[in-house]
Amino acid sequence: MLKFLLICTLAVASRAELGEEDDVLVLKKSNFDEALKAHPNILVEFYAPWCGHCKALVPEYAKAARIMKDEGSEVRLGKVDATEETELAQEYGVRGYPTIKFFKGGEKESPKEYSAGRQAEDIVAWLKKRTGPSVAPLAGVTEAESLIADNEVAVIGFFKDGNSDGAKAYEKAAEVTDDVPFAMTADDAIFSKFEVSKDGVVLFKKFDEGRNTFDGELTKENLLAFVKANQLPLVIEFTEQTAPKIFGGEIKSHILMFLPKTAKDFQDKMEQFKKAADGFKGRILFIFIDSDVDDNQRILEFFGLKKEECPAIRLITLEDEMTKYKPESDAITAESIISFCTLFTDGKLKAHLMSQDIPEDWDKTPVKTLVGKNFEEIVFHASKNVFVEFYAPWCGHCKQLTPIWEKLGEKYQDSADIIVAKMDSTANEIDSVKVHSFPTLKFFPAGEERKVIDYNGERTLEGFTKFLESGGKDGGAPAGDDDDLEPEDLDDVDEEQDMDSDGEDDDEHDEL
């Protein structure tokens, strides 16, 4: 009997073992199921202790947990050290840090990916939209004022008849908008307080104009376009916190101004940039990047810029393929920026492709050096089979590959028809080849067809040799059949890589 009681006591203690740190539940595989039973709605962050983005999120995540707890919400926030709880991380497909998933109703199988910003207010707003009504009713002026005061952006629908076509369209728009709270009122006092005389929709925000009034036919599509165009500042600074909003939004055309905040004419250039932004609201996102911040140096490198070359303007599209554009003029005036953006929206701009100058000794070593200016001539030579490594100087996987690639070059340096080459893809871009991750290995067989074959075999001298001797058949695949990650999160280039059970970088590629 004593043994039985001891077992029961241990079992109860195990079930109760849900530790907390700053109001955030500390979750493990051993208590995960119990946590979902006790708290059916949990937002879970899978993190790595060494991850810079995770460290930056800590205070905001704790603040959000405290807000939800203080409000008496049933929703809790939890965290999992994915480097320790590797089985749990693998079960939920954690490939980068932080990964945040929402478990609703105690359901384990298909959690919802968190898709909003990394500020406490963003997290709270997202959770409330996920667990409460898509449109919150407002009973009085105080509630309306609190909604506006507590949120960076909030939308209020003013409808005397909640069953009208306009009100129904408003509710449909609210249902598919995660990152902005929607509310509705028929209260005369609220109408009067905010000087609204007829049914309509107003977006309130803590920046720029302060509020925007919808003007047009009340349809779901029109309302979504209205919110999309007005929910972000005319000019948004790229930071750890704003990156999810920038890359996760629907506006995929971004114009970037690289400028140090310490510049004497900083304010003047910001005013010019902001003035230009007004005419492209909802079509082009205007982003400011402080070129003096260390964390932003990789982004400068991505655009082929150095700190001393700033201020500078660049434009990028994040559609199926990333395309960059560079203005002809270095002037940063509202007029020059408007002209540049107008040429882009009219489809009259050509992509800007970076290229280094051709080194004098580019062909003097076993592994030939390619740049944008000599790429086409070498790789599409009708009588040459060219095997190219597209690399980044900072890429750990590329560094590991270097000695093997050099041995391969030595093996074929006297070949009449095989060339082993490399190209720094952070400084050189090719219109005919899109590089999504590092290293990328592509084979360009001899002939007039301009064929491209991706190498998917083992990264060994033997594997490469078999591939070349088979004419690109043993270890190859038609170009485009790979499943490399898209380069969307420029803020996460250092952190969001696959990790093995020891927390070490175990992916075959470094993301671009």
Q: Are residues 157 and 103 in the same domain?
A: no
- Euclidean distance between CA atoms 215 and 222, whole angstroms: 9
Could you read off the pLDDT of 103-138 as tens digits, one per residue? 988 888 888 888 788 889 889 988 988 888 889 999
- Please say if the pLDDT value at position 338 is more than 60: yes
460 contacts: CB under 8 Å, gap ≥ 6: 404
Residues 327-332: contacts with CB within 8 Å, 24+ apart?
Answer: 332/257, 332/259, 332/269, 332/272, 332/273
Q: What is the bridge-based pairing of β-strands 24-26 and 510-511?
A: unpaired
- Per the annotation, the verdict on 395 as an active-site residue is yes
**Residue 504 belongs to some domain of the structure:** no
4 versus 393: the higher-pLDDT residue is 393
Residue that is last in its domain, among 312, 346, 380: 346
Range of the domain at 279: 236-346
- Please say if the pLDDT value at position 237 is more than 90: yes
**Residue 448 belongs to some domain of the structure:** yes
Q: Rounded mean pLDDT of the chain? A: 86
Could you read off the pLDDT of 465-490 as tens digits, one per residue? 999 999 988 875 555 433 333 333 33
∠ CA(8), CA(12), CA(18), 5° rounding?
160
Q: Are residues 34 and 116 in the same domain?
A: yes
- Per the annotation, the verdict on 8 as an active-site residue is no
**Residue 7 belongs to some domain of the structure:** no
DSSP 8-state class, residue 433: B
- Asked, as a colleague might, if the bond just before 137 is cis with ω within 30 of 0, I would say no
**Residue 352 belongs to some domain of the structure:** no
- Please say if the pLDDT value at position 362 is more than 90: yes
Count other Cβ atoms within 10 Å, centred on residue 492.
Answer: 20
Q: What was the pLDDT predicted at 19?
A: 86
Give DSSP secondary structure letters for 221-252: HHHHHHHHHHSS-SEEE--TTTHHHHHHSS--
The distance in angstroms from the start CA to the end CA of the chain is 63
- Please say if the pLDDT value at position 4 is more than 80: no
∠ CA(302), CA(285), CA(275), 5° rounding?
115
Q: Are residues 93 and 26 in the same domain?
A: yes
Q: What was the pLDDT predicted at 490?
A: 38
**Residue 81 belongs to some domain of the structure:** yes
Q: How many helices (H) and strands (E) does the chain have?
A: 16, 24
- Chain-centroid distance of CA 214 in Å reads 29
- Per the annotation, the verdict on 398 as an active-site residue is yes
Q: How far is CA 473 from CA 61, 281, 464, in A?
A: 50, 49, 11
**Residue 507 belongs to some domain of the structure:** no
Q: What was the pLDDT predicted at 176?
A: 83
Identity (one letter) of the amino acid at 318?
L
Q: What was the pLDDT predicted at 129?
A: 80
Q: Are residues 222 and 292 in the same domain?
A: no
Q: What tokens were used for 206?
A: 């803590």
- Asked, as a colleague might, if the bond just before 478 is cis with ω within 30 of 0, I would say no
| Contact present, 294 and 260 (Cβ < 8 Å) | no
DSSP 8-state class, residue 240: T
Confidence of residue 5 (pLDDT cuts 50, 70, 90): very low
Query: Picking from 249-253, 382-386, 441-445, which range would have the lowest pLDDT averaged per residue?
Result: 249-253
Q: How many domains does the chain have?
A: 4
Provide φ and ψ at 422, rounded to 5°.
-145, 155
- Active-site choice (8, 51, 310, 341): 51
**Residue 43 belongs to some domain of the structure:** yes
- Euclidean distance between CA atoms 462 and 262, whole angstroms: 54
Provide φ and ψ at 81, rounded to 5°.
-75, 100
- What pTM did the predictor assign? 0.62
The three-state secondary structure class of 182 is strand
154 contacts: CB under 8 Å, gap ≥ 6: 147, 148, 180, 181, 182, 183, 203, 204, 205
- Please say if the pLDDT value at position 445 is more than 90: yes
Q: Are residues 372 and 451 in the same domain?
A: yes
Q: Are residues 200 and 141 in the same domain?
A: yes
Count other Cβ atoms within 10 Å, centred on residue 62.
Answer: 17
Q: Between the CA atoms of 360, 364, 365 and 371, what dihedral angle is there, to the nearest 10 degrees?
A: 40
Q: Are residues 123 and 104 in the same domain?
A: yes
Could you read off the pLDDT of 307-317 as tens digits, one per residue? 888 999 999 99
Nearest alpha carbon to residue 386 among 458, 463, 452: 452
CATH number of residue 240's parent domain? 3.40.30.10
**Residue 375 belongs to some domain of the structure:** yes
Q: What was the pLDDT predicted at 17?
A: 63
Provide φ and ψ at 432, rounded to 5°.
-85, -10
- Euclidean distance between CA atoms 496 and 511, whole angstroms: 8
Q: What percent of the chain clears pLDDT 70, i.e. is strictly above it?
A: 89
56 contacts: CB under 8 Å, gap ≥ 6: 118, 240, 241
The three-state secondary structure class of 454 is strand
Q: What tokens were used for 319?
A: 């559609």
**Mean pLDDT, range 440-455, rounded to an integer:** 93
Q: What tokens were used for 384?
A: 């040459």
- Per the annotation, the verdict on 310 as an active-site residue is no
Q: Are residues 203 and 275 in the same domain?
A: no
∠ CA(73), CA(74), CA(77), 5° rounding?
90
Q: What tokens were used for 416?
A: 């009449």
